[in-house]
C-alpha cells in the first residue's frame, strides 16, 4: 500500500507562474516546475486555476522564483485567492519583462513560450520554450519543504502535491483554517475580531474547531 509520506520526500521550489489576461496581469503559485530539456521547462497547473485558461489564450508565461526572504503575502495572494475575481498584482509589486508580469520580490525569472500542453485529469502540464530569463537579486531559493516547515504553509487543494492530511487533535482546543489548513492551537474565539490566518490571511470566520475523537 502506498505510504503517502514518501511523496513529501520529493524536492520542489516555490514559484509564481504569470501571464497577461488581455492587459490584466495574473498568476498563481506553482511548485511543480522543472527543467525537462536544455531549452524547455514544464509547469503543472490545475484546470480550476484561472491562470490555466489565461496561459492557453496568451501562449506565453513567466516563472518568478521565490526566495526564503520573499514576502509570505505573495503566497497568500497567489496561492489562496483566485485571479478570476481578484486583481492579484494590485496587491503585489511586479515588473514587466518581455511583455510578461514578473514578481518584483523574487530572485529571478524565466520567460516561456508554450510549445506543448498535456491534459491530465485534473491538471494541464504546460511545456514552454525558454525565451529569456535573468537573476534579479541574491537569495536562497525557497523550497517547498522550507515553505512547509518554516513558514508552516500548506498546499492549496488545487496543487499537484496536495495531500489530505489527517489531523490528529492534541489534547486541548484546536482550530483549522478551512482555506489553507493552518492549525491554530488554543481558543481562537479569544482572538480580536480582526485576527487573520497567518498563512492565507483569511478572517477568523473560516476556522473550524477540530474535535478530538
Ligand atoms: Fe489559512
Q: Beta strand 174-177 with 207-210: parallel, antiparallel or unpaired?
A: antiparallel
- Interval between CA 120 and ligand 1 midpoint (Å): 28
- Interval between CA 156 and ligand 1 midpoint (Å): 10
Residue pair 122/169 in contact (Cβ under 8 Å)? The answer is: no
- Interval between CA 108 and ligand 1 midpoint (Å): 27
- Residue 58 backbone phi and psi in degrees, to 5: -80, -40
- Interval between CA 201 and ligand 1 midpoint (Å): 6
Sign of the torsion formed by the C-alpha atoms of 209, 76, 12 and 24 = positive
For the chain, where are the alpha helices, taking DSSP H only? 50-58, 72-80, 88-91, 144-149
How far apart CA 180 and CA 171 sit, in angstroms, is: 22
- Tracing cell 509564481 back to the chain, one arrives at 16
Q: Which residues contact 79 (CB under 8 A, 6 or more apart)?
A: 28, 29, 153, 156, 180, 200
The pLDDT tens digits for 192-205 are: 999 988 877 788 98
- Interval between CA 95 and ligand 1 midpoint (Å): 28
How far apart CA 24 and CA 94 sit, in angstroms, is: 12
- Interval between CA 188 and ligand 1 midpoint (Å): 13
- Interval between CA 19 and ligand 1 midpoint (Å): 25
The pLDDT tens digits for 163-197 are: 766 555 566 788 988 877 788 888 999 999 999 88
The pLDDT tens digits for 23-35 are: 999 999 999 999 9
Which candidate, 143, 115, 145, 137, places its Cα nearest to that of 127? 115
Residue 19 bridge partners (DSSP):
26
pTM value? 0.82
Which strands, in side-by-side order, build the sheet including 123-135? 24-30, 15-21, 60-65, 108-119, 123-135, 40-46, 33-35
Model confidence at 59, pLDDT cuts 50, 70, 90, reads very high
- Interval between CA 177 and ligand 1 midpoint (Å): 5
* Reduced DSSP (H G I as helix, E B as strand, rest coil) percent helix, strand, coil of the chain, to 5: 20, 40, 45
The pLDDT tens digits for 78-133 are: 888 788 888 899 989 999 999 999 999 999 999 999 999 999 999 999 999 999 99
Residues by chain with Cβ below 5 Å of ion ligand 1: 177, 179-180, 182, 197, 199-200
Q: Beta strand 123-135 with 94-97: parallel, antiparallel or unpaired?
A: unpaired
- Interval between CA 180 and ligand 1 midpoint (Å): 4
- Interval between CA 80 and ligand 1 midpoint (Å): 8
Amino acid at each position: 500500500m502506498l505510504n503517502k509520506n514518501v511523496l513529501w520526500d520529493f524536492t520542489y521550489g516555490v514559484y509564481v507562474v504569470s501571464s497577461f489576461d488581455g492587459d490584466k496581469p495574473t498568476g498563481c503559485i506553482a511548485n511543480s516546475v522543472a527543467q525537462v530539456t536544455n531549452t524547455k521547462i514544464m509547469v503543472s497547473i490545475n484546470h480550476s486555476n484561472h491562470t490555466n485558461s489565461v496561459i492557453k489564450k496568451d501562449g506565453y508565461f513567466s516563472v518568478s522564483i521565490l526566495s526564503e526572504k520573499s514576502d509570505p503575502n505573495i503566497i497568500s495572494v497567489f496561492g489562496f485567492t483566485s485571479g478570476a475575481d481578484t486583481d492579484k498584482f494590485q496587491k503585489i509589486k511586479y515588473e514587466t519583462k518581455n511583455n510578461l508580469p514578473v514578481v518584483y520580490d523574487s530572485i529571478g525569472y524565466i520567460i516561456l513560450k508554450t510549445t506543448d500542453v498535456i491534459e491530465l485529469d485534473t491538471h494541464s502540464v504546460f511545456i514552454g520554450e525558454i525565451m529569456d530569463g535573468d537573476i534579479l537579486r541574491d537569495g536562497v531559493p525557497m523550497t517547498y519543504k522550507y515553505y512547509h516547515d518554516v513558514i508552516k504553509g500548506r498546499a492549496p487543494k488545487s496543487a499537484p502535491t496536495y495531500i489530505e492530511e489527517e489531523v490528529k487533535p492534541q489534547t486541548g482546543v484546536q482550530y483549522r483554517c478551512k482555506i489553507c489548513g493552518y492549525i491554530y492551537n488554543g481558543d481562537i474565539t479569544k482572538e480580536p475580531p480582526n485576527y487573520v490566518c497567518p498563512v492565507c490571511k483569511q478572517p477568523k470566520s473560516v476556522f473550524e474547531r477540530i474535535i478530538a475523537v
